[in-house]
Amino acid sequence: MTRALIIIDVQNDFCPGGALAVAGGDAIVPGINALMAEFPAVILTQDWHPAGHSSFASSHPGKAPFAMTEMPYGPQVLWPDHCVQGSAGAAFHPGLNSDRADLIIRKGYNPAIDSYSAFFENDHSTATGLEGYLRSRGITDLTMVGLATDFCVNFSAVDAAGLGFAVTLRADLCRAIDMDGSLAAAMSGLAEAGVRVA
């Protein structure tokens, strides 16, 4: 029981037709379901924003989606409204075997701070509690899949490696937004952090 599969944000709003759709986001679902059988522990993360979240462009008059702004914790992309708590868009993709999950970590529920990583909010100090859960179960090796490669998967993998976990990212079971070179930057950062990309 040292290995866990971490499935990042496979939610309707990140799949084709969703508010912040990642191209091919739904194509990874069958492969993720099949991979679950290889792991004793399966953890899902779920973006879970209150309406009017500070990371939404709609909360910043005159700002367009995908513009940048400065928040107290640093630079922040302003996103289209997405994964609003209780909405159909925030639900897991209907094809995902979410019943297999031992734990669901919800993130981004603090209206003042966005949260890409499964481990920390974007201030890089407010913990989600996932690290403590993994440590208490004796889990040391993490495999990450999901959406999107260059944002939530990337931040989660880099944070996990920084916390001392052995981390593998299954690139075939992730999809990227790739905004202004963000995928290339993420892949470089993952290598620097010691994340194995398979």
Give 51-97 pLDDT, tens digit per residue: 999 999 999 999 999 999 999 999 999 999 999 999 999 999 999 99
In contact, 195 and 167? CB cutoff 8 Å: yes
83: CB partners within 8 A, 6+ apart: 9, 11, 13, 14, 19, 20, 46, 47, 48, 49, 89, 90, 108
75: burial class by Cβ within 10 Å (0-12, 13-18, 19+)? Answer: exposed
| Cα maximum dimension of the chain | 50
Residue type, 135: R
In contact, 162 and 128? CB cutoff 8 Å: no
In contact, 92 and 83? CB cutoff 8 Å: no
Residue 16, phi-psi category: left (phi > 0), alpha (psi -120 to 50), beta (remainder): beta
pLDDT value for 180: 86
Q: Which of 9, 47, 81, 114 is catalytic?
A: 9
Give the E-state strand segments of 17-150 in sequence order. Answer: 41-47, 68-71, 74-77, 103-107, 141-147
pLDDT (tens digit, 9 = 90+) per residue, 15-32? 999 999 999 999 999 999
pLDDT value for 5: 98
pLDDT (tens digit, 9 = 90+) per residue, 146-186? 999 999 999 999 999 999 999 999 999 999 998 888 999 99
pLDDT (tens digit, 9 = 90+) per residue, 29-62? 999 999 999 999 999 999 999 999 999 999 999 9
Active site residue 63: no
Q: Which of 114, 152, 159, 174 is catalytic?
A: 152
Instruction: Say whether 168 sits in a helix, a strand or coil.
Output: strand
Of the pLDDT bands very low, low, confident and very high (cuts 50, 70, 90), residue 118 is very high
Of the pLDDT bands very low, low, confident and very high (cuts 50, 70, 90), residue 6 is very high
In contact, 90 and 10? CB cutoff 8 Å: no
Active site residue 9: yes
In contact, 168 and 195? CB cutoff 8 Å: yes
Q: What would the mean pLDDT of 137-145 be, rounded to a whole number?
A: 97
Q: Which of 15, 83, 107, 159 is catalytic?
A: 107
DSSP state of 84: B
Active site residue 107: yes
Residue type, 111: P
pLDDT value for 144: 98
123: CB partners within 8 A, 6+ apart: 72, 73, 74, 113
